[in-house]
Amino acid sequence: MRALAALLCLVLLALPLRAGTPWGAAETIRSEAGRIERLLFRAPSPERAADIAARLARMAAAWQAVAPAFGPEGAGVAAALATHAESAGAGAAPAAARNRQLLWAALTGAARARAFAAIAAGDAAAAANWLTVRDYARATGDAAATLAVQALGRGEIDAAAARAAVEGELLTVAASELRLALARAAEDAAAGHATRYAGDLGRAEGLVAYLGASLADHLGPAGMTALAADLARAATDPTRIAAIAEGLAGYAPVTLAPAERLRRARLLRRFAALVGEEYRDGVRGGRIIQPMEYHEAQLFRDRAAMILADLAPAMDAAAARRLADLLAAMKVTMAAKGEGVETLVAEALAAIDTTFGSEVAGAGYAAAVEALPAALDGLGRMAAAGDWAGAEARRLEAYSFFDPDIEQRLVPRAPAMALRLEARFWEGSAGRPGLAALVAARSGGAALAAEIAGIKADLATARARIETPTSALGSLVQSAGIVFREGLEAVLILAALLAALRAEGVAPARLRPALGLGVLAALAASFALWAAARSLFALSTLAREAIEGGTALLAAAVLLWIVRGLAAGGGHVAAFRARLAGIANPRTVGLLAFLVVFREGFETVLFYEALLVDAAPAPVIGGLAAGGAAALAAGWAVLATGRRLPLGLFFRATTILLGVLAVMLVGSGVRGLQTAALIGATPVEWFPDRDWLQLWFGLFPVAEPLAAQAAVLVLMVLPRRLRRRAPA
């Protein structure tokens, strides 16, 4: 033990001299008061008394050396120091615990006044020094005060702005700490921990004094009087703690800025989710199986409660109350090591998502751009460690940040860029393999590092495009572009089909209701899927791609069937028409209409949702109308052309058009299944790698979709060739 004691002394000697400056003295006082509180838990002894006396003397000396620097507020510190010394010297543990907290509150209050004076004088260095004597945000990592003082020193903001930022953070932290102190007091009272309870109450009293005028503004004179009375009564009657907490429920010293609210809401969600994960690992069958996980579950719940209290004043009251009840129920259940925590967590997460929206649900753009580089770094590390399964998981995680959160915002602005960036997460190109190809080939090193760096660079470019403010005209053009691009294919398919059928004598009027019904049902289904994915279930990126790809292939199959029917020809005209009428009946046309519209519908809704994040509704609606009109005009042109062209020529033209559209659908469908990781992707060098071919014709330099498209071509062309060769 001598070796241990000697080394402990060495540790202490290695400390820098902290006293000598006012802030250093404050830290000395803080530290020694804490050590005295710990000593007072031990049995009384002469050694203990001597140790406490020595520490009290050190505190007094530190204070004496710097007291004048604290200005008029120093008197309060001196009084608190004397009271603390008296109780600690007497060995009164609960009183010393309470007075320790009051002493710290007096120090922080005085230091705050000095910091404000330094800010007013434009002395950022002094302000920063004084601001080390304070409490910090323990759950949210706030640094606004530090950055404001730094900006003041650089001349970037004036004193008033710096003070506002500093004051806002200090008060917000104090309010949060006050709620924590009350929560701890309730727990310690229930556990019968008298010394800790006294310390909690002292902390609450000190923070009430620190919050001073801000709290008085909220509670009013009568409320402050009642609060003081409740705090005094709580010393002997712990039931008053609940009343105090209730009175402070709606208190927020400052209104959170939107960005700060968003950040806190995300943290709330993250902590709430972690409660479930940690508890699941920590407790099983009513037993703690991993103490660390159990402890973390409790810690994260407490932090979530602190953050909720910050957010609650600006929330819907019922939602805030519900979340508070859920967090309280988690605490009770976890304390009993009971079942049902995951259900409470799930309900809390749903409530958070409903209240704060998708940006908080971890699916938002801001969260995605923040998390994507880290996921890519993780991929690199996993690959470097030879953990290829982990690397693949990280790749998919990174891709899930890109699609949909970033892709949706990028597509309206730069669709080709979105397409290329997406390919980099998958097979890439023949000359430059993408992440999926590199991971599959277990190819790390420089190639993987270069691809990760390339994606990060592309991401920075994409962010610049996305985050550049959009003008009204730009919003209109983007909106029109979305609906034209996504809608043209469906409009052309349906118009060409109707025209071809009309040319063959099938009355279009018979098919119009089914067609309209199919389109309307697809639109309704798209919105329903969008709404359900927001509130009822999580639709993963890969599942969405699979739905889109699968629907496209199904649509292609139906279209191919109809086109083959159209192209079949031959034989008796009446028999052909009867056969055609059998294939192109209301049911198949309605189904086709549903599939071709639904295929793009869900994604189009997501694109518009993303566009409306930073564009005014009017130009977006204008663009929607203009783009829709343009697509419909294209469809009308197909129909109208049919009236002017010779019947045979028009029939062949529409059949070819439908065939081309079927090829496009197949290409998009296979591509969708590739980005859903359901089938592999092999880049080819021989096919041109052009944005316009991919965007408008679904022609990618990838072997699998090209092969499928070739097969479709063969299916359409071969029967016709065979018929020509067959004897009449």
Q: Which residues contact other proteins by CB under 8 A?
A: 1, 3-5, 7-8, 10-12, 14-16, 18, 21, 23-24, 27-28, 31, 34-35, 37-38, 41, 128-129, 132, 136-138, 141, 143, 146-147, 150, 184, 191-196, 277-278, 280-281, 288, 290-292, 294-296, 299, 374, 377-378, 381, 384-385, 387, 390
Of the candidates 300, 280, 298, the residue with the CA atom closest to the CA atom of residue 290: 280
CB 310 within 8 A of CB 140: yes
Instruction: Please state, in angstroms and rounded to a whole number, the distance separating the CA atoms of residues 144 and 152.
Output: 12
CB 388 within 8 A of CB 437: no
Number of Cβ within a 10 Å radius of residue 61 = 12
Cβ proximity to other proteins: between 283 and 592 the closer is 283
Cβ proximity to other proteins: between 15 and 259 the closer is 15
Q: In whole angstroms, how close is the CB of 232 to other proteins at the nearest point?
A: 23
Cβ proximity to other proteins: between 300 and 402 the closer is 300
Q: In whole angstroms, how close is the CB of 191 to other proteins at the nearest point?
A: 7
SS3 of residue 433 by DSSP? strand
Cβ proximity to other proteins: between 318 and 389 the closer is 389
Q: In whole angstroms, how close is the CB of 276 to other proteins at the nearest point?
A: 9
Instruction: Please state, in angstroms and rounded to a whole number, the distance separating the CA atoms of residues 14 and 20.
Output: 17
Q: In whole angstroms, how close is the CB of 184 to other proteins at the nearest point?
A: 8
Of the candidates 142, 144, 145, the residue with the CA atom closest to the CA atom of residue 116: 145
No. of helices (H) and no. of strands (E), the chain: 29, 2
Of the candidates 195, 187, 352, 144, the residue with the CA atom closest to the CA atom of residue 266: 352
Cβ proximity to other proteins: between 307 and 323 the closer is 307
Instruction: Identify each DSSP E strand in 521-581 by its residue range.
Output: none
Q: In whole angstroms, how close is the CB of 147 to other proteins at the nearest point?
A: 6
Q: In whole angstroms, how close is the CB of 96 to other proteins at the nearest point?
A: 13
Q: In whole angstroms, how close is the CB of 11 to other proteins at the nearest point?
A: 6
Give the DSSP H or E segment for 96. Answer: helix 93-120
Q: In whole angstroms, how close is the CB of 31 to other proteins at the nearest point?
A: 5
CB 589 within 8 A of CB 500: no
Instruction: Identify each DSSP E strand in 238-361 by its residue range.
Output: 283-284, 287-288
Contacting residues for 526 by C-beta, under 8 A, at least 6 apart: 597, 598, 601, 602, 604, 605
Q: In whole angstroms, how close is the CB of 611 to other proteins at the nearest point?
A: 30
Q: In whole angstroms, how close is the CB of 215 to other proteins at the nearest point?
A: 23
Number of Cβ within a 10 Å radius of residue 580 = 20
Structure tokens at 351: 């409530």
Q: In whole angstroms, how close is the CB of 185 to other proteins at the nearest point?
A: 12
Neighbour-count burial of 1, counting CB atoms closer than 10 A to its CB (0-12 exposed, 13-18 middle, 19+ buried): exposed
Cβ proximity to other proteins: between 297 and 638 the closer is 297
Backbone Cα Rg of the chain: 35
Q: Would you call the peptide bond into 404 cis, given omega within 30 degrees of 0 as the criterion?
A: yes
Instruction: Please state, in angstroms and rounded to a whole number, the distance separating the CA atoms of residues 179 and 174.
Output: 9
Cβ proximity to other proteins: between 20 and 513 the closer is 20
Cβ proximity to other proteins: between 58 and 534 the closer is 58
Cβ proximity to other proteins: between 177 and 603 the closer is 177
CB 300 within 8 A of CB 278: yes
Cβ proximity to other proteins: between 290 and 354 the closer is 290
Cβ proximity to other proteins: between 144 and 568 the closer is 144
Give the DSSP H or E segment for 324. Answer: helix 317-335
